[in-house]
Amino acid sequence: MSTSDPDRRYHHGDLRASLVAAALAQLEVGGAAALSLRGAARTCGVSAMAPYRHFSGKEELLEAVAASGFEDLAVALEAADASADGAQALAAQGAAYVTFACRQPALFRLMFMGPGCGPDRSRAYAILERRAATLAGSRMAVADLTLAAWSLVHGLAALILDRRVPLAGEAAEDAARRITLAFARLAAEAR
Amino acid sequence: MSTSDPDRRYHHGDLRASLVAAALAQLEVGGAAALSLRGAARTCGVSAMAPYRHFSGKEELLEAVAASGFEDLAVALEAADASADGAQALAAQGAAYVTFACRQPALFRLMFMGPGCGPDRSRAYAILERRAATLAGSRMAVADLTLAAWSLVHGLAALILDRRVPLAGEAAEDAARRITLAFARLAAEAR
DNA sequence: ATCGGATGTTGACATCGTACACAACCTCGC
DNA sequence: GCGAGGTTGTGTACGATGTCAACATCCGAT
C-alpha cells in the first residue's frame, strides 16, 4: 500500500543473502555460540519463520555461511600464490591460510568443525595441490605432500585459534610463514 | 529411611564424576549437539538443577569432560612413544594422536574447539617436545619443530574428522604414520 | 483482472540454560 | 544422643531457541 514505510515491504527482496550476511556478522562479533536463526531473522527485520523459506533449518544456513567462507579462502590463497619460487609460494599460501583463520576465527571454525562435513575437495585444495606438485619428488608423493602441507597449516591455524599455542596476530602469521617455508625447503631439497 | 529404595537416595554419592561420564557417553553417541546439561542430569537420575552444585554452568562441565580427554590423550601418546628410534617414535605418536581423534571424534573436537580455550601446554605437549628435541638441528629450532609436528598431526586429525580428506579408519592411521615419518626423516637428515 | 506459487506472519510447543527459594541429608561440637 | 549449620538435591519459573501448522500477502504469468 502507498502509505507504508518502504523499509517494511512484505517481501524483503533478497532474504537469503541477507541472512547469510547477518549470520556472518553475528559470527564475527559474538562467536558461534551467539549465532541463532531467530537472531539472524531479527537482524533482517523479518519473522522467526521466514528463514525456513530459504533454508531447511539452521544447519543449512550454517552450510551456506561456510560456503561463502570457502569462497573467500580460495580467493585469498590464489592471491598469495604469486611468487615464482615454489617454496616461497607455498609459504605465502600457508601464511595466508593462517591469516584468514586469525581474522575470522569463528567463520574458520564453522567452515571446518561445523555440522556440515561434506567431502568437498574445495577450490582451495586444488590451488594448494598445484603448488605442491612442483615440489614433490620420489621421497614424498604429490598426494602425501599436499596432505602434509594442508595439515600443517590447518593444524597450526586450529592450534592458534584455540590458544593452544602462545602466538597471536603478526607473530602467528610469521610462524606460519617460517614453518611452511622450512617444510617446503626440506621437501624440495630431499626431492 | 529403611523402607525406601536404595537407588533413590537423596544424595547421589559421586554426582560430579557421574555427570562427566554421562556427558562423555552422550558425546560418543550423539555428538556435541546432543550434549545437554539437563540430559546428563537425567541420565544420572537427578534434577536439572543438581549439576549446578558441582559446576558453575554448562561450560564448566564441558571443561571437565575435556580435561578427562586430555588425560587419556597423554596416556595414549606416552604409550606410543616407546621406540628407540626418534623418527619412528615421532611417527608412532602421530599415529596415536590421529587414532585418538578418530575413535572419539566428538571428544577430540570438544577438547580443542571447545569453549574453554585455556593456554595450557598440556602434558601431551611435553611428551611431543621431548621427542622433537632429539630431532631438531640448525635448520629448524626445537620450538618450531615441535610446533610443526604438532600442527601436522593435529591438522591431519581435524581434516579427517571433518571428512575434508577421503581417509577413514585404518587408512587414516596409516596416512598419519606415513606422513609423520616422512616429516621426521626430512628433519633428521637436514639437521 | 485473476489465479497460483513464492514469500512472510502468527501462534504454539518442546527443550534448553539458568535464577531463586526451599527441603533433605550429613557432620560436627556438645 | 542431639541440635546447629553447611552441603547437596528439588521445584518452580523465566526467557530464548529451533521448529511445526495454518494463515496472509505479494508478484508474475496467463
Reported as a single tens digit per residue, the pLDDT across A37-63 is: 999 999 999 999 999 999 999 999 999
Angle between helices B105-113 and A105-113 (to 10 degrees): 180
Most confident of A97-106, A115-124, A179-188, B182-191: A97-106
pLDDT, tens digit, 9 for 90 and up, residues B47-65: 999 999 999 999 999 999 9
For residue B109, the tally of other CB atoms under 10 A from its CB is 21
pLDDT score of A104 more than 90? yes
Give the pLDDT mean for B11-39.
94
Task: Please tell me the predicted confidence (pLDDT) of residue B149.
Answer: 93
Residue B186 CB neighbour total at 10 angstroms:
24
- Answer yes or no: is pLDDT of A16 > 70: yes
Mean pLDDT (whole number) for A119-124: 68
Q: Give A116's pLDDT tier (boundaries 50, 70, 90).
A: low
Quickly count: other Cβ atoms within 10 Å of residue A100's Cβ. 23
Measure CB to CB from residue A162 to each of B33, B117, B147 and give the nearest one.
B117
| Contact between the CB of B11 and strand C at under 7 Å | yes
Q: Does A67 touch chain B (CB under 8 A)?
A: no
pLDDT tens, residue by residue, A158-173: 999 988 888 988 999 9
Taking only the tens place, the pLDDT of each residue in B115-157 is 665 545 578 888 999 888 988 887 888 999 999 999 999 999 9
pLDDT at residue B122 in the model: 74
What pTM was estimated for this model as a whole?
0.90
Q: Is B169 on the interface with A (CB under 8 A)?
A: no
Helix axes A123-133, A58-80, angle to 10 degrees: 30
Assigned C-alpha cell, B36:
545437554
Q: Is the pLDDT of residue B94 over 60?
A: yes
Identify the residue with better confidence: A83 or B115: A83
Closest CA to A187 of B149, B183, B87: B183
Confidence check: pLDDT of B42 > 60: yes
Cell output for A4: 507504508
Q: Three-class SS of residue B109?
A: helix
Per-residue model confidence (pLDDT) at position B4: 39
User: Which of A33, A154, A186 is opposite residue B158, by nearest beta carbon?
Assistant: A154
A138 in contact with B, Cβ within 8 Å? no
Rounded distance, CA B189 to CA B168, Å?
Answer: 31
Mean pLDDT within B6-23? 84
Asked whether A62 and A70 are in contact (CB, 8 A), the reply is no
Phi, psi at A121, each rounded to 5°: -70, 100
- Record the cell numbers describing residue B81, joined without a space: 612413544
